[in-house]
Amino acid sequence: MKLKLDENLGLRGRDMLAEAGHDVCTVPEQNLCSATDEQVAVRCRSDERGIVNSREITISCLQ
């Protein structure tokens, strides 16, 4: 699954998901720190990635 980790999650979360076989990138890696939720959602849609943050996993970004 293609995922984007929000900026509130660290490298440990990214590494754990990558080790489980997921294609993971992070908000900071893509220079989206302090971007609005809508801006991150737009990027998720264009990259066909779900967003993972500390509150939930949002797969609706893929639709």
Q: Compute how many other C-beta atoms are within 10 angstroms of the C-beta atom of residue 46.
A: 9
pTM given for the model: 0.74
Alpha helices in 1-63 (DSSP H): 11-19, 37-47
Report the pLDDT value the prediction gives residue 10, as an integer from 0 to 100. Answer: 78
d(CA 20, CA 43): 23
Token pair of 53 as six digits: 């943050």
Report the pLDDT value the prediction gives residue 13, as an integer from 0 to 100. Answer: 85
Q: Structural domain of residue 25, as residue ranges?
A: 2-62
Report the pLDDT value the prediction gives residue 8, as an integer from 0 to 100. Answer: 80
Tally of domains within the chain: 1
pLDDT in tens, the chain (63 residues): 999 998 888 788 889 999 999 999 999 998 998 888 889 889 999 999 988 887 665 544 544
